[in-house]
Structure 1
Amino acid sequence: MFVKLVIMVSLALCPPILLSHLASSYFISKYGFEQAEQTVSTVAQLSAEAPSVIEGMQSPLNSDVWLQMVDFLTMLTSVSNVKFIVLIDMDGNRIYHPETPKIGAHVVGGDEGNALQGKTYISSARGTFGFSQRAFRPVFDEHGKQIGAVIVGIMSKDIEKNVSRLTSPMTWLFSLALLIGVLLAVQLSRKIKKILFGLEPHQIARLLEERNAILSTVREGIIAINKSNRLVVVNEMAEKILRSAGVKGELLGRPVHEVVPSTRLDSILNEGKPEYDCEQNINGQVIMTNRAPIIIQGKTVGAVATFRDMTEMRALAERLTGLSNYAEALRSRSHEYLNKLHVISGLLRNKRYDELEEYLSDIIGSKIRETSSIKVNVQDPILVGLLESKFSRAHERNVTLSLGGSGVIPHLSSTGAHALVTVLGNLVDNAFDAVSYTQEKHIALTVHCDHGTLVITVADTGHGISEEHIQKIFSKGFSTKGAGRGIGLYMLLLTLDELDGSIEIDSRVGQGTAFTVHVPLSRLTDGGQA
């Protein structure tokens, strides 16, 4: 690309420089010939009107008057820088010539006729000295009678030589200008190549295509503004989210406040500080957004925001919570059964068969009771698996977990099951944490169905929650258990909002806490659709 740019810029410079040179040469040449014509015309007029010339032309050859005329013409030829001054009579014969042997002979060139008829003019012809510019002027005596004509000439080659002396510096000047233009073209090409990071045009086009393809395929909405707070980038997902939020009309080029009234991109542009994981409401549609300044060479030239619909984020969080609970269930089951297998292995090695039989009876009986209790109240297989894992974890942590109630959780839709996993999993896990440092470790889980509403209560015998903390426990990031916590109850509340559900808290410091959840059963069995 560098060589191409140099060639293109050089070719762009050559025509105007060449045309300027040709134009200058033309006008200089024209000026040179015009000056020569003016010179010979003036000298011819001076010669024709000089009294010494008029008297000399009427005097005999080599007479004193004729010799005075010769001296005058010689002097005039010298001071005017003309090549020759020739006098002819009315027959065209030379009366005077700079070269004496040619006096008396007929003038050469064949262009003297009009001069002998009293006309003044300039002609180009080849004479005894060669090709020349010649001025003809008739000579009249004191009575007005024409007695001959004067011919004054400058050699064409002398005119061209003078013109060449003027145009030669111009040629060097234009050559220098062309050289400087080429050097500047080289510097410009290097600068352009540096600006384009050394990329070839086809590589730039390929990057642009890839950039557009990436913007159109990512699932996050992306918008960017320039220093004038106008939108310069809006990908397909961003347009989809904005359209669903009721934004109409053309997006690109518009002020960002007209498209997203609650935006903070202008603040990001001014302050130059990013903001991450922020909730934003666009005409009633809630999104999760990240905003950051666009910095190039240390200067903030714009700002960009990426965002996703919170509905999708919540669904993803619910799936992740469900997976986390499933993983916890498998881990608990594995740990519980591994411990029991160690006990069984020890009893077998020691041949204590009576104790082994009693131990197995206790295990089987306990599992039968737990399974029976779960199956009485729960029919959905996903929730059955979750509750069985929680019973196993309760055994590990020496916590008494009971399940009761007068209602039955039926088979749920996939969305409803994942949502309820989020709710139950977080409530039971919080209950485990609540009873970790108490002497009485009991968690009661009850299920009721009342006129199409599923009511679930999780009560623990923990230390309870103070009044000031109750107001904050559902806030994102709030936790009394240290940094990196405070997400579970926040996600639980978002899930309940999606299900049109509600939650109540009954807590007494030093006595325990009970969370009661109300959820329309139809929102769980119909895929979460109202």
Structure 2
Amino acid sequence: MSFVKNNSLFIRLVMMVSLALCPPILLSHFASSYFISKYGFEQAEQTVSNVAQLTAESPVVIEGMQTPKGDAWVQMIDFLRMLTSVSGVKFIVLIDMHGNRIYHPELQKIGAHIVGGDEGEALLGKTYISSARGTFGFSQRAFRPVYNESGQQIGAVVVGIMSREIEKSVSRLTSPMTWLFSLSLVIGLLLAVLLSRKIKKILFGLEPDQIARLLEERNAILSTVREGIIAINRNNRLVVVNEMAERILRSAGVQGELLGRPVQEVVPSTRLDAILKEGKPEYDREQNINGQIIMTNRSPIIIQGKTVGAVATFRDMTEMRALAERMTGLSNYAEALRSRSHEYLNKLHVISGLLRNRRYEELEEYLSQIIGSKIRETSSIKVNVQDPILAGLLESKFSRAHERNVTLTLGGSGVIPQLSPHGAHALVTILGNLVDNAFDAVSFTQEKHIDLSVHCENGTLVITVADTGRGIDEEHLPEIFRKGFSTKGAGRGIGLYMLLLTLDELDGSIEVDSHAGQGTSFTVHIPLAMLTNGGQA
């Protein structure tokens, strides 16, 4: 067994299939040989028994045994020779009551005692078959008593077939069978080799231990990825559900066993069945599972040109939004630092030049302008905004406005209080996208002016961002919040889409007022409690 275990899958399969084929083939061969041999000897015994009966009951033989000389004797000899030739037996021998031969095919042996020692029962009137070695060799012999007309036993007849002749007859029958079974065995071994090669090919030449290791590695990978992964077979039944997918589905209220169930029962809103049927992938699609929103990618599983299943990867939209918000916040912080660095570097160059040229009056006036502008911007932000993250965002936007020669004004009434981390990130996403879009809108206009207004009244935060850009065409207004829609080229159309998702999460709303050539105004309404209480009203 250790030899089998230490060999490759190919050798093990060949050996196992061979071991499965050889015993029944060999057993069939031995069984058929046994029954053919048994049948051959039974037929031989039947033949000698019939010939012995025919001889013992023949009047010619009875009369000839009683009159050893004369015509009856000659007729008996002719009859026995003819019967021997016709029946195919080796010999017919007649003996008297003393066991001496009355007739023998070899005339010189007539008168001598029969050889073999098995004639005793026949002289006592019994009929039987015996195996013994006579003058011709080992043979199967039938003994039968001979009676005269008055019923007195006058001797016995012995009819025999040589055992080697029976064996030759049996061999002539079993030899083709031997060749047939040998051929069957060879074909079985060839089929075992072909089957082993086929299985090896199906398994891509991998050994069982390699397959087991790959399965363990696959399960480990599926359990560690942060995305949910489900896969279905061609019958629309789930065959793969990793730990993250099960966690998301359970949180969405899905109960019971997952594997093996139709995907429509587990995820009623799924499109995996359509992907399986159409064979076309879908990327970055939102999906609602019992009220839980996920972002999913779906793709068919194609093997050798045939679609055999479909797979979906997905993540909870709440996590994705939080990640996007963090990334937006970091991007804004970096933008603020870059803008500040660039702005102050330019101003330092101006100050350095004024100093070198000893233009002290102009330097004093320039510094007054810088300090006064910053004091106004900073004081305006401090008056209206208490949250440091939002204040940092606004300062970065003022710096960027200076850099791009855009006039940015901040107005409004009421104070934005300290926000929760979730509320701050959400407001960064909303305000950052609106101001950035305003910057893009005024980039190609002569008048570059942006008004940012923040109002806090009756528990509602109202933000208005108005620009003097070219406005939005009327036919584009219904599409601006759709994911991927943009008139600015490929790879855009995400900002307003993320803004709308964030507003939905905060129970907020947005209004758009735009006229071609006159600019655009966005007004956002958000319950203040959603920003200060971690997203819980």
Above 0.5 in TM-score? yes
CA deviations over 1:306-340 (Å, ceiling 9, x no partner): 22222222222222222222232222222222322
2:151 aligned with 1:144, yes or no? yes
Aligned to 1:9: 17
AA partner of residue 145 (structure 1): Q
> In the alignment, does 2:286 pair up with 1:302?
no
Aligned partner of 2:51 in structure 1 is 43
Question: Are positions 1:505 and 2:512 aligned together?
Answer: yes
Deviations 1:84-130 (A, max 9, x none): 21111112222122333432233233322222222222112233333
Is the deviation greater in 24-33 or in 379-388? 379-388
1:516 is the counterpart of 2:523: yes
Task: Report the CA distance between 1:211 and its aligned residue.
Answer: 2.0
Q: Which residue of 1 aligns with 2:3?
A: none
Does residue 321 of the first structure (1) align with residue 328 of the second (2)? yes
Alignment of 1:346-425 (within 5 A): 346-425=353-432
Determine the structure 1 residue equivalent to 2:533.
526
Q: Kindly indicate whether residue 350 of structure 2 is the aligned counterpart of residue 340 of structure 1.
A: no
SS at structure 2 position matched to 1:76: helix
Residue identity in the other structure for 1:330: L
> In structure 1, what is the equivalent of residue 300 of structure 2?
293
For residue 90 of structure 1, what is the aligned residue in structure 2? 97
What does residue range 134-213 of structure 1 map to in structure 2 within 5 Å?
Answer: 134-213=141-220
- For structure 2, the 5+ residue unaligned runs are 1-8
Percent identity between matched residues is 86
1:366-424 superposed Cα distances (whole Å, 9 cap, x missing partner): 22332222222222222222111111110111111122333222322222111111011
- Residue 258 of structure 2 aligns with which residue? 251
Distance 1:117 1:349 in 2: 157
Aligned position for 2:4: none
Shift of 1:353: 4.7
Q: C-alpha displacement at 1:239, in angstroms?
A: 2.4
Partner Cα separation in structure 2 for residue 453 and residue 110 of structure 1: 130
* Corresponding residue SS for 2:415: coil
C-alpha deviation, 1:22, in angstroms:
0.5
Alpha-carbon distance, 1:466 to partner:
4.3
Greater Cα shift, 511-520 or 420-429: 511-520
Larger CA deviation: 412-421 vs 436-445: 436-445
Q: Match of 1:306, as an amino acid?
A: T
SS at match of 1:471: helix
Q: In structure 2, what is the Cα distance between the partners aligned to 1:200 and 1:395?
A: 68
Query: Alpha-carbon deviations, 1:461-518, whole Å to 9, x = none?
Result: 2233344433332222222333322211111111111112222334444443332222
2:90 is aligned with 1:80 = no
Identify which range, 98-107 or 115-124, moves more after superposition.
98-107
Q: Which runs of 5+ in 1 are unaligned?
A: none
- Which moved further from structure 2: 517-526 or 84-93? 517-526
Query: More displaced, 1-10 or 121-130?
Result: 121-130
2: CA distance, partners of 1:343 / 1:106:
151
1:64 deviation in Å? 4.5
1:112 matches 2:119: yes
Cα RMSD, aligned residues only: 2.1
Amino acid at match of 1:294: I
Distance 1:166 1:341 in 2: 115
The farther-off stretch of 437-446 and 193-202 is: 437-446
One-letter amino acid of the counterpart of residue 17, structure 2:
V
Residue in 1 aligned with 2:501?
494
Distance 2:212 2:308 in 1: 23
Letter in 2 for 1:78: S
Aligned AA (2:287) = Q
Pairwise mapping of residues 208-219 of structure 1 onto structure 2 (< 5 A)?
A: 208-219=215-226
Q: Match of 2:62, as an amino acid?
A: I
Deviation at 1:458, TM superposition (A): 1.8
Q: Does 1:450 align with 2:450?
A: no
Q: Distance in 1 between matches of 2:428 and 2:313?
A: 29
Once residues 503 and 57 of structure 1 are traced to their aligned partners in structure 2, the CA distance between those partners, rounded to angstroms, is: 136
- In structure 1, which of residues 415, 439, 443 is the aligned counterpart of residue 446 of structure 2? 439
Do structure 1's residue 281 and structure 2's residue 288 form an aligned pair? yes
Aligned to 1:28: 36
Distance in structure 1 (CA, Å) of the matches to 2:480 and 2:77: 128
Which residue of the other structure, out of 232, 235, 254, is the alignment partner of 1:228? 235
The code of the aligned residue for 2:270 comes to T
1:300 CA drift (Å): 1.6
1:24-52 deviation per Cα after TM superposition (whole angstroms, max 9, x unaligned): 10111011101111111122122212233
Which whole-Å deviations, capped at 9, do the CAs of 1:54-85 have from their partners, x for residues lacking one?
1221123x654334323332332233232221
415, 426, 429: which one aligns with 2:433 = 426
Whole-angstrom distance in 2 between the partners of 1:130 and 1:464:
125
Write out the 4+ residue segments of structure 1 that deviate beyond 6 Å after TM superposition: none
* Residues 141-191 of structure 1, C-alpha deviations (whole Å, 9 max, x = no match): 222221110011112222122212221221111111111111111111111
Task: Say which SS state the counterpart of residue 123 (structure 1) adopts.
Answer: strand
Local SS of the residue matching 2:479: coil
Give deviations 1:430-472, integer Å, cap 9, x for gaps.
Answer: 1112222233222222222223322222222223334443333
Per the alignment, in what secondary structure is the counterpart of residue 279 of structure 1? strand
Deviates more, 1:12-21 or 1:250-259: 250-259
Q: 2:66 aligned with 1:58, yes or no?
A: yes
1: distance between equivalents of 2:500 and 2:533? Answer: 20
- Larger deviation: 204-213 or 335-344? 335-344
